[in-house]
Amino acid sequence: MKSILDNRPALAKQVNDVAEVAGYLWQKGWAERNGGNITINITDLIDDEIKNMKPISDVIQIGRQLPNLKGRYFFCKGTNKRMRDLARWPMENGSVIRILDDCSSYVIIADNPVKPTSELASHLSMHNYLIGRGSTYKAAVHTHPIDLVAMTHNPAFLEKDVLTNLLWSMIPETRAFCPRGLGIIPYKMPSSFELADATIKELEEYDVVMWEKHGVCSVGEDVMEAFDMIDTLSKSAQIYLTAKSMGFEPTGTTQEQMKELKEAFNLPK
């Protein structure tokens, strides 16, 4: 079958990276059934031939106006599609969409009329926010990491920056490679605009945000970077719970040691 990826190695690489990350999410047990979603802004890779491609869907409303998305293109995991299937067959379980000039609707242009993720409101709101702030970030990943979600069932961990500091203190890597920490968003209805708005508000301060009792959302330059930050935080959560299950409270690195890392790595916080 003809694919938009044919003879477009840069675009194919982006989609293959999404598929690779989708496989990791499944292997980690973070992506039950259709859980989680990935979107990437591929506008920079769009040529004239793609711009002229006819829609393969009706016009679909986003439900809000996202002024920075006019004429932009995204590869999106499909709604109700399994992450484990996206890993093997990305173009059957995801699609390329074009945002129309009204900035509040889109069409699917390739390869199959797979309707994008149920969390499209949050994903597109995040991309709209990132573009507005002049960011070069292109990827948004949402997934359900067991350890991190479990931690949100403890109200003490929902206070601002409590989890960030705890997770940073488990291993220096997390301090260095998730340097803006983990924002916390109180429970909200999945797929809602309320959740989307809370998410972009937290992105002002964090690259990874936690949706209480649901999952995390991460943004980055590319899908690998967005994944790596979640993976690093999850590693810290694993160290914490391994220590706890050995029967003791982990001491954590000291504030002094974390400050030293901040200076050595020139970290933003």
Residue ranges that bind Zn ion, judged by CB under 5 A: 215
Among 117, 169, 174, 199, binds ligand 2HA (CB under 6 A): 117
Q: Reply yes or no on whether 256 is catalytic.
A: no
In angstroms, how far is CA 206 from the centroid of its own chain? 12
Instruction: Identify which of residues 25 and 130 has a Cβ nearer to Zn ion in the complex.
Output: 25
The residues in 138-157 that bind ligand 2HA, with binding defined as CB under 6 A, are 142
207 binds ligand 2HA (CB under 6 A): no
- CA 130 from chain centre, in angstroms, equals 13
In whole angstroms, the minimum distance from the beta carbon of 149 to ligand 2HA comes to 11
| Residue with smaller CB distance to ligand 2HA, 79 or 165 | 79
Looking at residue 78, the DSSP 8-state letter turns out to be B
Q: Sign (positive/negative) of CA torsion 211, 224, 220, 16?
A: negative
Is the Cβ–Cβ distance between 8 and 49 less than 8 Å?
A: no
Task: Select the binding partner of residue 236 from ligand 2HA, Zn ion, none (C-beta < 5 to 8 A, by kind).
Answer: none
Stretch that binds ligand 2HA, among 87-95, 114-122, 123-131, 161-169 (CB under 6 A): 114-122
* Active-site residue, from 20, 49, 92, 119: 119
- 3-state percent helix, strand, coil for the chain, nearest multiple of 5: 45, 15, 40
Give SS3 for 121.
helix
CB of 265 to Zn ion, least distance (A): 31
**What's 250-262 look like in SS3?**
CCCCCHHHHHHHH
The residues carrying an active-site annotation are: 119
Positions in the binding site for ligand 2HA (CB under 6 A): 34-37, 117-119, 142, 190
